[in-house]
Structure 1
Amino acid sequence: AAVAADDIEVVGKSYHENMKSWSKLQQTLLQNNMLPTPIPRTHTSRGFSGLPPDQTPALEGALRGTIHCPNTDPQINELLSSMLASWNEPRGTRDDLAQYYYTDKDGTRQQHPFVPLPLDHFDPQHPEEVRTKRRRYLTFEPDTGGWNNLRISFENILTLAALSGRTLVLPPEQSMYLLYAKKGDTRNGYRQYTDYFNMTDNSDFLRRVPIISAEEFLRLEGGDDGFVPLNGYDETKKQHLLDVAKGCEERKKSEVFCEDLYDHYLAHGQLQPLISEPVAEQNCFVFDKDVFLYGDEYISKLSEDVQARIQTYCKNRPPVYYNKTMHDAPVWHFETMDLKWRLLTHSYALLFFTDPVIGNYYLRFARDYFRYHDEVYCAAGKMILAMQYEKDVLFGDAHNPGADLDRELVGGYSSLHVRRGDLQFPEVRFDSATWYENTKELWKPNEILYIATDERNATFFDDFRRKHSGPLRFFDDFRELADLDSIDSTLYGMIETVVSSRGSVFAGTWFSTFSGYIVRLRGYYGMSKYFTYYSWLDRKFFMHEWMNVGSGSLFAREYPVAWTGIDGDKFVDNDSEKPRKKAREVVSVDGGTFLERDTLYPRDEMEEAKAVAESELNKLGRGLAGRPMSETPALLGAFRGHVSCDVNVDNSVVYWNEPQGHRDYAFKTPFGVGTDKPKYLAFTPDGGGFNNIRMSFEIILIIAAALDRILVLPPEQPMYLLRNDAAKRHRGLDAFFDIESPSFQKRVRVITMEQFVMKEGLVDIEGQPQGQFPADVEEFDHLATAAKECNKGMPKKKWKEGDLTSCDIVHAYLSKHGTTPEISASHHQCLVFDKGMFDTGKPDDEKGASEFCSSGKRKMVFLTKEFDEPQLLYIQAGKPPTRMLSHYYGYMYFSDVAVGNYYKRLVRD
């Protein structure tokens, strides 16, 4: 691998230096064109989890979210945002304005009771606003488990606060289990949910769920007229509760015992109705508009379809219906620290909405709002880009870095979560050799594997390392690159969650809610279910088949209903991915059926199935002109293009891809020759109608791109048959083609003739040239004017060569400094791009070129280094003998078919 790295020029002397420095890594990626195309923010439907635009009215007006990373180049920041933002921001117009209504018995349209209108504004610096805006509260106790147990419980709390229109009261700051702060932590290890979730600095979220602290709650509602009055206690007890509200400990002998404050809440509030333990008493929470509005007697009137869905969802759990008694309670308290009332159940597995429009609204609510601070994603992004870079250096194609990334920019490494620590389930605790044996067919040879783990013994993974041919990477490997020592150590697990979620293939630990959240993030990112596994063989393929939430454990895993099709308005009970070919239906002993799978699912089969599925999902292979995705690696990472209109016309008119696939985005021409000074290609447009101009321009464009030259656009001028607009008689090619777009400029650098003359034609007051192609001092002003706009007709100006039109002035200047190659698309020639001829003077495919040029007995003209020597090439394409009136694909031959097809896609896209 080290030898391979040395052979790749783009990485410099040592890639190891870049792996330790964020600034050096950025510089290397930018200078060597090693970055994939960012995903456009308008592409809000993610991979296999998404739906077609006509099925997602909730996404109208939405954009992909963004992150903001300090000390990061804007281009790289844009890339990281497009990769890592699993949420939309802004959300769709319908969600943003809470446009969810129902018609009452009088025929009047009303706001839906489970989607309250957001506040116009909430300022967390002025919590007293809730006394007039949202004076109903939800209080709760944190879960006693690790962070992901806390998160699961908290997601329920946030959703319940939102749908009931309540102000959320946070518990006091306190230590959270297994979130270890660094030595000398100024907060004594105390933390708050807002240290992790991006909530109190998200004004859009606060309009829906105002948040106040326990201290603020007692100040607002602890008085004689408050909902949780302290007037029943002596001064010592009052002060005690005020102290607990500032920060507490979950120890009975502590002077600030958390439970004392929670008991005070419960004494004045209504207890939640949800039971967790024992399992036989578990229930599920059902939200039905009619039952809420008209009372429990309406339950028997629910349609058979709704009742069947409730039964499927709740299974053996008796349903509890949300009612007005719960809704109207001034304080609704959730005693979730108590084992009986614990909410260790995913919100989408506990809260059932009989209306899928509302249910999917809250699934999007969780996806879009329950996210970590940017600091987490920025650190994860650095680690991800480093591994993708390392893969390109050690095992990739130097000319096509990132070529194996998928359309969501996932790839470059795969990942595992190896839970050890205090895991209570011995059946899923393995040594590293067993981990390898249980997952070995999932990994590619030499693949980088990122391992998230709480195992502190450095030798534990030696057996795995000996068996796997590729590098193993761990969190500490990126301590310097991602500046991890400057980050709150309680965030480390969240950073690892994001990094692990972006692996091509992921294998997790069954029962672990840490692994579970990685799986859910992969769902949000739209990854194929066939690329997610568990290491326990009994559960290895559990993510490959659809399972309803009532059919399995409510915490040991995540369920695809949380992310599949949630931007639509219908119930979702399956995904869009086809069953694996080698899964067969088998009749069980009890007469039922189940799918029997291979014990192994080789990676090459996985990749092939994913490629075919992505092709069908994205419809990138157009009709009869397309090819199966397995035959079109250049489309990996591509999207269909987008047109910004007042109506959606993408499906009807867009034939191009934007962005192109990763391989095309990173393509480097084999015919470019580096030079200290920039080289240019200037040309005259064809003199015919627009389609003649277009045909000629396509040839010019490919020559400029193949030679890696800056393309100089002709001055604006009247065009044949396009002269009837009196307001705009002069036009340039940029009036028709999207030449100024970043994607176009990346592939072909373009400047105007005016910019070219001002840069390369200048002379100083002493007549000394400032550019490569100095103009005569006394004629410079006329040239600069003509370079901006010219006319082939009258009037004429006196010039050294005689009376010239303004277009002739530009022509004379270019002819003086440029070299016009003897090529023509109109006079029995063909232009051959052959790497062997270009490099050594000996063609690689003379026979193929000869056969191509035999049509019309055309003369072969090879592109050579001599052809490319002049600093300025001037192709006089407008008229014979050097006119370029031909279809480029009938005039140009590329001996390397892959390179030729690249330029065909360049023209199309």
Structure 2
Amino acid sequence: MTQPEMHSPHKCLRYGRTSAGSGEMNDVLRQSDTVTPQRFLAFETDFGGWNNILMQLEIMVVLAWITGRTLVLPPAKPFYLLGEASRLLEDFLDLDALRRQIPVLTADEFVEVAELDTKVATDEKFHDLMRARGVMPPWNGVEDILLFPSDALLTRPELLARLAGPSQAHRQLITISNELRECDLLYFPMTTEHRMFGVAECFFLFGDEQLERRARTLLRDAIRFRQDIINLAEAAINAPILAGRRFSALHIRRGDFQYAKTRIGARQIHEHVQTLLSPEHPIYIATDETDGAFLDGFREKFEVVTFSALPRETVVNTPHHWCGIVETLICAAAPGRFMGTRFSTFSTRISTIRGHLACTSGGDFEGVDTNLYYTQQPLNRKAEEGLLGRFWRKGTRHVDPVVETATPWWLSKDPLWARAYQVCWLETDN
């Protein structure tokens, strides 16, 4: 095992802006007179995992913003893979940060404002009421693409190129109708057909380039984790086992992951990423693999750090339902490289936060490598050789990631939700 490097000053996971208010964000929208107070947008939590829920929330936040509505957060319910206890979004997210950007009510607050029976705030009754009273757009976050405003393709014809990519042929163009614009309550139920899981960057086509940039900035600054979760992650990266050390990070998704082609063995992963790692530096590995011997091959050549090896105080004080977020932030803060699992929205979230940290001028992680590295090779090498062929290095199993990192979403061959997009952190307001 290598000796720990000298500790650096305390590092903080700060990025973007934390003080901008909804008034500043809505300046562009007010120019087109779209803000309509006292109208609401509510939704039912996505049935997927935590990062899928976050992706749905991002679409809801932008929709509430562009329609001038108050966002109503759903009542508590159990989240997939986070135990049987019912959870609120507020159990994970900084509600004050969200409220600094747009008007927000919790389910309890909405029931009080609407002068409803308090029993309505329970999950089942709340959504029954929303279905009865709300207008429910027949939209799907992956299959549809929203033009805003409806003449966006006329005012910004370069958007037409985004409809011609290999993954766009099946998508339907939608607009916000007069009924949706004027109704008191917009509601998005959770159904397979009309699931609003997707990527906000890929769902909206803005006719105003400045508005598009503001939307990215809104998501960066509005959807942030609770400070007590951030404190736990900062305690981990500032502990002697990681502090001041140029560690890299891997996310290896196993468990119930349905994409069998990504479930490769540790030896294959090591062969693929070894040129990206240095035995002189530790690697932090976040994985849901339960076989303790799975990482033995890595331990033979590297100093491996996992969550259980962090200081006891951090491990004990981190509730089970926060562990994934703490590991997300640790991986995002790695001063070396980050390598994720293809098709994993957990890896995508890490890459996005990593991009925001890298692009925060004067921040503790400014300039870290944000290229997209994966623990797997391209899953269809023959099909991708035309695009990536010149980036294969002789004598190594890894692909230079420059093309994958820079490729815009409309030219990506992966599903839209399967990866992070560079513009989300590069083209925002400081």
The Cα offsets for residues 602-656 of structure 1, whole Å up to 9 and x where unpaired, read as xxxxxxxxxxxxxxxxxxxxxxxxxxxxxxxxxxxxxxxxxxxxxxxxxxxxxxx
Q: Name which of 190, 195, 200 aligns with 1:347.
A: 200
- Contact 2:156–2:207 (8 Å) recurs in 1: no
Tell me, in whole angstroms, the C-alpha distance in 2 between the residues paired with 1:112 and 1:500: 41
| Distance in 1 separating the partners of 2:90 and 2:166 | 32
The residue matched to 2:417 in structure 1 has which SS?
A: coil
User: Which of 64, 71, 74 is matched with 1:161 structurally?
Assistant: 64
- In the TM superposition, residue 530 of structure 1 has moved relative to its aligned partner by 6.5
Within a 5 Å distance, the mapping from 1:772-811 to structure 2 comes to: none
CA distance in 2, matches of 1:90, 1:174: 30
Q: Contact 2:156 / 2:208 at 8 angstroms: preserved in 1?
A: no
Distance 2:133 2:225 in 1: 33
Specify which of 364, 367, 373 is matched with residue 226 of structure 2: 373
Q: Quote the residue 1:286 is aligned against.
A: 147
**Amino acid of the structure 2 residue aligned with 1:100:** D
Please state if 1:536 is matched with 2:376: yes
The structural deviation recorded for 1:497 is 0.1
User: 2:94·2:223 contact (CA, 8 Å) conserved in 1?
Assistant: yes
Match of 1:550 in 2: 410
Any conservation in 2 of the 1:313–1:549 contact (CA below 8 Å)?
Answer: no
Match of 1:322 among 168, 176, 183: 176
Are 1:263 and 2:128 matched, yes or no? yes
For 2:329, the equivalent position in structure 1 comes to 498
- What is the one-letter code of the residue matched to 1:376? I
Q: Distance in 2 between matches of 1:508 and 1:492?
A: 17
TM-score of the aligned structures, taking structure 2 as reference length = 0.83
Alignment of 1:233-312 (within 5 A): 243=119, 245-246=121-122, 248=123, 258=124, 261-276=126-141, 282-288=143-149, 291=150, 301-302=154-155, 304-308=157-161
Structure 1: state its 5+ residue gaps: 9-28, 37-75, 103-109, 117-132, 181-187, 224-238, 249-257, 292-297, 393-401, 403-410, 569-909
Residues 1:301 and 1:428: Cα distance change in structure 2 (over 3 Å) = closer
Q: Does 1:90 align with 2:19?
A: yes
1:331 counterpart letter in structure 2: L
Distance apart, 1:377 and its partner CA? 1.7
User: Following TM superposition, by how much is the alpha carbon of 1:536 offset from its aligned partner in structure 2, in angstroms?
Assistant: 1.4
CA-to-aligned-CA distance 1:386-406 (integer Å, 9 cap, x gap)? 2xx4468xxxxxxxxx4xxxx
Question: CA separation of 1:356/1:314 partners in 2, compared to 1, >3 Å: closer, same or farther?
Answer: farther
Q: How does 1:205-244 map to 2 (within 5 A)?
A: 205-206=98-99, 208-221=101-114, 243=119
C-alpha distance in 2, partners of 1:567/1:311?
28
Q: Does 1:192 align with 2:192?
A: no
Q: Give the deviation of 1:351 after TM superposition.
A: 1.5
Cα deviation code 1:124-161 (max 9, x no counterpart): xxxxxxxxx94211111111111111111111112211
Secondary structure of the 2:273 match is helix
Q: Given the superposition, is the C-alpha separation of residues 391 and 309 from structure 1 closer, same or farther in structure 2, using an over 3 Å criterion?
A: closer
Give 3-state SS (helix, strand or coil) of 2:297's partner.
helix
- Compute the RMSD of aligned alpha carbons: 2.9
Higher relative contact order (CA 8 A, sep 6+): 2
Structure-2 separation of matches of 1:412 and 1:557: 25
1:566 counterpart = 2:428: yes
Q: Contact between 2:78 and 2:87, CA under 8 Å: does it hold in 1?
A: yes
Deviation at 1:320, TM superposition (A): 1.0
Q: State the secondary structure of the residue aligned to 1:415.
A: strand
Determine which of 8, 17, 24 is the counterpart of 1:35. 8
Q: How does 1:296-695 map to 2 (within 5 A)?
A: 301-302=154-155, 304-308=157-161, 315-316=168-169, 317-335=171-189, 337-386=190-239, 389-390=240-241, 402=244, 412-466=246-300, 468=301, 470-482=302-314, 484-503=315-334, 504-526=336-358, 527=367, 531-538=371-378, 541=399, 543-545=401-403, 546-552=406-412, 553-567=415-429
Q: Quick check: 2:247–2:283 contact (8 Å CA) kept in 1?
A: yes
Question: Are the counterparts in 2 of residues 313 and 548 from structure 1 also a CA contact under 8 Å?
Answer: no
> 1-side partners of 2:153 and 2:147: how far apart?
14
For residues 522-550 of structure 1, give each alpha carbon's deviation from its aligned partner in whole angstroms, at most 9, with x where no partner exists: 21122565753111111664852222222
Q: Measure how far apart 1:423 and its partner are.
A: 0.3
8 Å CA contact 2:340, 2:347 repeated in 1: yes
Change (3 A) 1:143 1:530: closer
Partner-residue secondary structure (3-state), 1:143? coil
The alpha-carbon deviation at position 314 of structure 1 amounts to: 8.4
Identity %: 26
Amino acid at match of 1:371: R
Partner deviation per Cα, 1:335-363 (whole Å, 9 max, x = no partner) = 2x211111221111112212110111010
- Tell me the SS of whatever aligns to 2:77: coil
Change (3 A) 1:322 1:465: same
2:247 and 2:159 map into 1 onto residues whose CA distance is 44
CA distance in 2, matches of 1:354, 1:299: 4
SS in 2 for 1:35: coil
Q: 1:566 to 1:310 in 2, by over 3 A?
A: farther
Give the TM-score normalised by structure 1: 0.41
2:139 counterpart SS class: coil
SS state at 1:341 partner: coil
Specify the code of the residue in structure 2 equivalent to 1:555: W
Deviation at 1:207, TM superposition (A): 5.3
Offset at 1:495? 0.3
Three-state SS of the structure 2 residue aligned to 1:361 is helix
Aligned-pair CA distance for 1:318: 2.3
- Specify whether residues 101 and 364 from structure 1 end up closer, same or farther in structure 2 by C-alpha distance, changes over 3 A only: closer
**Which secondary structure does the structure 1 equivalent of 2:42 belong to?**
strand
Structure 2 counterpart of 1:174: 77
Cα 1:538/1:307, change in 2 over 3 Å: closer
Q: CA deviation at 1:306?
A: 4.6
Superposed CA deviations along residues 538-590 of structure 1, whole A, max 9, x for unmatched, are 1664852222222331111111121122228xxxxxxxxxxxxxxxxxxxxxx
Task: Give the conservation status (yes or no) of the 8 Å contact 1:310–1:354.
Answer: no
Q: Distance in 2 between matches of 1:542 and 1:158?
A: 35
Q: How many residues align?
A: 398
In structure 1, distance between residues paired with 2:128 and 2:313: 47
Aligned partners of 1:530 and 1:544 also within 8 Å = no
Question: 1:320–1:448: structure 2 CA closer, same or farther, 3 Å change rule?
Answer: same
The answer (yes or no) to whether the contact 2:217–2:429 under 8 Å persists in 1 is yes
| CA displacement 1:233-289 (0-9 Å, x = unmatched) | xxxxxx7xx54623x4xxxxxxxxx3x54233122211124225xx7xx2101112x
Give distance in 1, aligned partners of 2:166 and 2:175.
14
Q: What whole-Å deviation, never above 9, does each CA across 1:304-350 have from its counterpart, x for those lacking one?
A: 43544565698322221224331211010112x21111122111111
Aligned AA (1:264)? L
Change (3 A) 1:421 1:134: same
Separation in structure 1 between the aligned mates of residue 229 and residue 100 of structure 2, nearest angstrom = 24
